[in-house]
Amino acid sequence: MRTRAMKPFLCLVACTALLSGACQRPTTNETGKSAAEESRNRPIAGILGAKPSQAVSAPQAAAGPRVTGGNAPVRRVLDPPFKSTEVARFNQPWAMVFLPDGRLLVTEKQGRLRLIDVASGAIGEISGVPAVAYGGQGGFGDVVLHPQFASNRLVYLSYAEQGSGGMRGAAVARAALNLEPGSNNGSLSGLQVIWRQVPKVGGENHYSHRIAFDRNGKLFISSGERQQFAPAQDMQSNLGKIVRLNADGSIPTDNPFHSQGGVAAQVWTLGHRNVLGLAFDAQGRLWEHEMGPMGGDELNLIERGSNYGWPIVSNGDNYDGSVIPDHPTRPEFNAPEAWWTPVIAPAGFIIYSGDLFPFFRGNGFIGGLASQALIRIEFNGVQGHEARRYPMGQRIREVEQGPDGAIWLLEDGSSARLLKLTPNYG
């Protein structure tokens, strides 16, 4: 476990990769964009990870032209290294996942599950989705496939649900996906809720509800602290936690707090704020990013049983201007591998493993809401830092890797574009 004593070095690494002003206290929030942040969205000189001080041409002379992989000829990679193609538009999309046949499931926040043939652009709808509590940051959330989807047709969905007395909370359900032959329509059957946030609370923010399966078929769910602060440290609540379950929703006996029983038995890690990205690397390590308050967005390596410190410490401050102690003041908490001030407002996360961008293999990609950018992360074992920021001109809600290795983005909001990123060669 890395302690907060390492933060000065990590801040230096993160800030070196950003533009000027990155380590000042912010004047923005999760949905806004400050003048300082605007200045950080200018294109950085160079290509594929060059720091701002490295005004190099593309490709770098010392490295020579990039090899595209396999028997393909050597080709020059331009800057930016991808071109963007609009494929379709959606109304407030939140997440997406590819089916084995190459079609794409997309959730829309107001409660629709869409199916698009990305080759033709034809869009249909999947019926039988659960009712969602729409409003604020709440609504339809993530969608992922069971690791054995080809044989069991199970999909997993997260969403905000209504409780009694105006209370709300996130839930995760699974159901069988039934597709209609010859169309992009279908239905869900046998819907079963397998997890809920406890307790339901007031408000409409910080649900998190990202979902990911590990290589052993265990289900990880991010559970935001619902802007309630204290529950992130309370083991009688699963708010502000990352939980680990079996695929059917039962609790693995090797969870770190299993002996405590109750909701504590679900908990894998605690002390989180609003986790909107989960991704496993090639070595099976789980990484997450989460929104800080006014500053202090984080990239974390998730380690069994660790406490990540919210709301006791943060590299940001409260929106009312009150100071939160920085990470080094409490070295017992697990440290972020990188952090951002001003915020990037991270959403969506992949760790690239495809062949279409061989020079990106093993890199992470984070969508930026307030930063309106695609942020590339370089990893070095258990460390990570921002290597490059690609301005996209719109808030980026979701990132996914396609079957052919293309990178796919969903913009945020109404009439949001689905974009396909492919290599940009000279």
Report, as residue numbers or ranges, the catalytic residues.
206
CB 260 within 8 A of CB 330: no
Task: Tell me how far apart the alpha carbons of residues 144 and 343 are, in angstroms, rounded to a whole number.
Answer: 27
Q: Provide the β-strand partners of residue 421.
A: 84, 407
Q: Where are any strands of DSSP class E within 121-200?
A: 123-127, 140-145, 154-162, 168-179, 186-196
CB atoms within 10 A of CB 192: 12
Q: Provide the β-strand partners of residue 221.
A: 211, 243
Q: Provide the β-strand partners of residue 144.
A: 156
Distance of CA 225 to CAs 97, 231, 245, 382, Å?
Answer: 26, 6, 19, 26
Residue type, 148: Q
Using alpha carbons only, give the angle 194, 200, 201 rounded to the nearest 5 degrees. 155
Task: Tell me how far apart the alpha carbons of residues 328 and 8 are, in angstroms, rounded to a whole number.
Answer: 8
CB 140 within 8 A of CB 397: no
Task: Tell me how far apart the alpha carbons of residues 222 and 209 are, in angstroms, rounded to a whole number.
Answer: 5
